[in-house]
Chain A
């Protein structure tokens, strides 16, 4: 793992339950669209000053939850407080202090980054001089350089995403909400964006981020919550989740359903299995007995195995992948 472990441990020590230091406090929130329940009995606390990851498969209810936090989706039941303010009661006051990068870019393509930022800054009623100063800072901070004066439609996806993030920072928010900020970006751009997000966190900005990249969540987030079908299935610091919910190591192999059944019987609960299609992954704190059991099953001829440390993706798949496994 590239993240210094000390950082994650420090973060996990930080107040997991509600108190004054929670920037967002979600209590018993339900959101129904007609008969369909998109978010179900959600409780969540986002501690001040860290990076909080909201993870989950497509349609899990991440975007819906974020929209409820900034008040454009109204919960069917439950309460949400942001900065201690009831979002339903005073959305203007809450939104003045936060910034949102939507899942899809909302730039005016014919205008440049600077012009986009200027129009967006006016929504926050920033006075002209302060707005110009903020724009200059953000052009520097996101390294837009000379691209800042070209029409947005002429720029790459990575630059457009950076401009979208710059817009959500125009009011110097205490809380930054990023809905899949790195989807579709190349590895270098992703790395650069992570470092910007870390800079913001270092300045005390609270960041809520959704992503489908588990490596990203593991490296970037102090805490993550995994949602599935509108419910929170687990929450904690990434390392802590891996070790407490799963195991330290993973063994991966290809096998038939019948082989998998025999292997699971032979291991008799010593490893936790996850089968997706023909791929079987076995989780345990010590992989040696697992590997030995596989070799016994194979007899003479040895199949290819991967032995590796367990990661957040494994937690994600075991927590949310049950349906995939059953359906495969």
Chain B
């Protein structure tokens, strides 16, 4: 991979300059979405649930929603925003008239998506900790799960964005892909206790379950061999999709 880090940083700065102008508009909704889930479902629905997975329901929700915050932080950036830069602003065509190369663009964009992941995932984690829902110090180990989950969803989203011809298809991505992940990845209930064999297998192949299990292991301080499998899954799938997006961005930009 021929990444020039200073050039990738210039790509990162383009997005950062644009974000600086609009962060007040996007930060609040993105931050409050998981807070609403946590409070409405945790406090509201949680009142009717004695316990789940050995804790109160709101405590059960917290680690999964940290991962969801990371997933959302990455997803909006690498879908709509990258699509607009690619097809409407022709930002990458402009970059390729300078010493920048396709790899610098890819890494700069992923780095920027990761920055948003850290902003959204990190601030939500702080909120969870402030409400006393993150047992210390074991929950601190969930902090590295935020960029791990973020990277995974950055490359998953990019792989989709770089292949689709028009923006309408993002509704499929969000409604038919991210929403079921959100609902069936151990965030709201332990799927192992409610889903049957083949469905469990499907869930095991999908990306959100693994970061959620890692974050939950950190919150509970209960480590098992599954953690190794979850980590391996996240690293292998991220690596494979990174290689794939590298090819895809080249094919999009260079003829």
A residues with a Cβ closer than 8 A to B are 33, 67, 70, 72-74, 91-93, 95-96, 98-100, 102, 104, 106, 108-111, 115, 119-120, 122-125, 167-168, 171
Say yes or no: is B132 at the interface (Cβ < 8 Å to chain A): no
A109 contacts across to B, CB distance below 8 A = 89
Interface residues on B, range: 20 to 34
Known: A67-B255, A125-B6. A106 touches B91 (CB 8 A): yes
Task: Show the binding face of B for A, using Cβ within 8 Å.
Answer: 4, 6-7, 10-11, 13-14, 17-18, 21, 89-91, 93-101, 253-255
Could you name 26 residue pairs across A and B whose Cβ atoms are closer than 8 Å? A70-B96, A72-B93, A72-B253, A72-B254, A72-B255, A74-B254, A74-B255, A91-B99, A93-B99, A95-B98, A95-B99, A96-B98, A98-B97, A99-B97, A104-B90, A106-B91, A106-B93, A108-B18, A108-B91, A122-B10, A123-B10, A123-B98, A123-B99, A124-B98, A125-B6, A125-B7
Are A73 and B97 within 8 A (Cβ)? Answer: no
Q: Which of A96, A102, A123 has the most CB of B within 10 A?
A: A123
Contact A122/B90 with A96-B99, A110-B21 known, Cβ cut-off 8 Å: no
A sample of 12 more A-B contacts (CB under 8 A), given A96-B98, A125-B10, is A92-B4, A92-B99, A95-B97, A104-B90, A106-B89, A106-B91, A108-B18, A110-B21, A111-B18, A123-B7, A123-B11, A123-B98
Kindly report which residue of chain A lies nearest to residue B12, judged by CB atoms: A122
List chain B residues, Cβ under 8 A from A70.
Answer: 96-97
Q: Which residues of A contact B95 (CB under 8 A)?
A: 123
**A92-B4, A108-B18 in contact; A123/B89 too (CB < 8 A)?**
no
Interchain CA distance A100-B255 in the complex, whole Å: 17
Q: Distance (Å) between the CB of A38 and the closest chain B CB? A: 9
For A99, what are the chain B residues with a Cβ–Cβ distance below 8 Å?
Answer: 97
Query: What is the bound-complex CA distance between A296 and B95, given in angstroms?
Result: 63
Chain A residues, Cβ within 8 Å of B17: 111, 115, 119
Which residues of B have CB within 8 Å of A73? 254-255
Verify B94–A102 contact, CB threshold 8 A. yes
On whether the beta carbons of B89 and A108 are closer than 8 Å, the reply is yes
- B residues in contact with A124, CB < 8 Å: 98-99
Q: How far is the CB of A161 from chain B (nearest CB, A)?
A: 14
Docked-complex contact A120 and B21, CB < 8 angstroms:
no
Q: How far is B95's CA from A95's CA once the two chains are assembled, in angstroms?
A: 10
Q: How far is the CA of A222 from the CA of B225 in the complex (A)?
A: 73
Which of A102, A123, A167 is within 8 Å of B100, CB to CB? A123
CA distance in complex: A70, B17 (Å): 27
The interface residues of chain A lying within 8 Å CB-to-CB of B96 are 70, 72, 95
Whether A120 and B255, one on each chain, are in contact in the complex, defined by CB atoms closer than 8 angstroms, is no
Query: Considering residues B4, B14, B98, which has the most beta carbons from chain A within 10 angstroms of its beta carbon?
Result: B98
Known contacts A119-B13, A122-B10; A102/B101 CB under 8 A: no
In chain B, what residue has the closest Cβ to A123? B98
Could you tell me if A120 and B13 are in contact, using CB atoms closer than 8 angstroms? no
In the A-B complex, the 5 residue pairs with the smallest Cβ-Cβ separation, listed nearest first, are A100-B97, A123-B98, A106-B94, A122-B10, A92-B99
Instruction: Give the Cβ gap from B108 to chain A, nearest Cβ, in Å.
Output: 10
